[in-house]
Structure 1
C-alpha cells in the first residue's frame, strides 16, 4: 500500500510517499481502507521533532491522525464493528498514521461515521471534535450562560469549538480577520474582535473560560479578560506537571514542565484563574457522541480545501501557513 511517511526528524525532504506493507491486525483492532484523512497543525509539528520528548515513533513513520473510511477486516476480539462499516477516528498518539491507503485503528478509538456526512467531511472532524469536547465539556465543565473565549475562530479548532460551546449553552467570543467575521458569526460567535483593528484584551471582559489556541503572548493577555475562579485550558502549552504525571513521565520531566509553566501558572493564580494544558486523546465513545451532534445538524463541518493523495505534501505546506478557514483534508480514495 502507499503511505505518506517521514523518514527523519527535522528534514522536510524526508517526507515522501512510499510503498509499505499492509499492516497486520491485532485482536482489538480494525483495518480501515482510508478514503480521506483530515490534517491538523500537529501533523506538521511531529516531523519537526516538536513532540519528540513524549511522542515516540518508529521511523519511517506514517503521518496523519484523522481518518474516515470503510472497515475491511476486524480483529478476533472486536465486537462493535464489522467489514463494510463506514467509520471515522483519530489515531493520534497511537504510534500509527492515517495518511495511507489502509490504517490500523483500535476498536475503542473508532465510531460509526454519521450517515449525513461524506468521507471528506467525516475525516475533518475527529481531532478538532475530541479536542473541543475534552477541553470545554470535560476540563472546563462549560455551563449554560457562561462566557468562553475561543481565539482564531475561523481556524480548524475554532470552527468546531465555537459550535460546541453554543450547543452547551455558552456565549462565545473570538478573534478573526475582517474577511472572516461573517463566517464566525454564522458559527455562533457573539462577540467578534477583528484583530487587525482591536486588541481582544482591551475589549472583552468577565469571561469564565479561555481556550488557548494561539501561540505567543495570547494566553497571558487572556488572563485580563477572565473573572476570578475561571479557567484557561491551553492547547499550545506550556505543558504543566499534571500533564507529565498523566503520561507517566519521570520526575525530571515533571520538574521541567513545572519550570516551563511556572510563569503562566503563577500569573493565573494571582488572578484566581486555574491554568491547565490539554493533550487530546483518542476516544471512540466521545466521537460517537460528537457523531450524534453532526447527524442532528447541531454542528457542521467547515472545510477549506481538499487535496488529492498524490499531492499530500502540498496541503501540509498550506496548513503550515496558518491561513486555513476550517479544515484541510486529503482525499485518498
Structure 2
C-alpha cells in the first residue's frame, strides 16, 4: 500500500513580505496539496519568531479551511502546555463543527519558542510535566467524557477530532504508544532519535478506541523541480538563508556572505545545524519519489509529512504539486 502524503506548512514570512502575504501563500499551498492528492496540511504553533506566521494556529486553520474543499487541516502541533486543555477543546470543537470531518489535532509539549517567550506566555517551566494528564483531559472534553465533573467543552462537535502525539524523543513515542494514539516524529529538523523512537512506539503500542494498530508519521524536507540542478539550487539558497537567520540572532546588523555561511556549516556548530536537515529530498519528481519511498520503507512509516522549503512561493507550490503527483503515479494534466 502506497505511503500517504501530507504537507507541513511553516507559514513563512519571506523577506519583504507581510504576515498577510504568508497567509495567502498558505492558501495556495493547501490548494496545491488538495489537488495533488495530499491527505492533510498541518500548521505548527510558534511564538516570537519574525519569520513564522502560524502562532494563532487554530485561526489559520479556520482561514485555510474556508478556502479549500476537502483536504484535512490541523495543528502539527499545538504546544499543549501553553494552554488549558479546555480552551483547546473549545477551539477545535468549533473548527470541527464548522468543517466536519476535516480537522486534526497534533499535540506537543515544547514551548514553541525560547525561555523569555515562555514566560511571556505565562507558562510555568514545570508545565510540561503534566502533558500526559493534559492530553487525557483534552481527550475527555473532545469525546464528551469530561474528566472534570461539571466541566464540558462547548461547542463539542458531533464528529471526532483525532489526536496525534508529536515528538522528537522517546518521551513522545512512549506516551503515544501508551495512549494508543498516532505518533508523528519531527525528523524534518530533529533526525537523531527517529529509528529508536519509532521502534519504541511500535513495541509499546496499546490499542485504543481511536486506533487499533500503530500509525507512524515522519517528517522530511523536499525540494522538487522539473530539473535536478534547479532543485539543488533551491535547496542551497533555502538552507543558506536558514543558517544565516540562525547565526544572526543577536547580531541583527551582521551581513554574512554565502561563502561565510558555507564555511560556517563546516564548523562543529555549523555541522550540528546542517545535520538538522539530514532527511532532505532534492531533485526531479522521480528522484524525490525514490528518496521518499526508501525513507518511508526504512522506518515503516504509514505517512510522510513534508516541509517544502523553496524560497520562492511559486517554486514551493510547484514542489508540492510535483511531489504529490509523482508519489501517486499521476502525470501532468493535459495543457499544464
- Whether the TM-score (by the shorter chain) exceeds 0.5 is no
Task: Report the structure, 1 or 2, having the larger strand content.
Answer: 1
Provide the TM-score with structure 2 as the length reference: 0.30
Task: Report the structure, 1 or 2, having the larger helix content.
Answer: 2
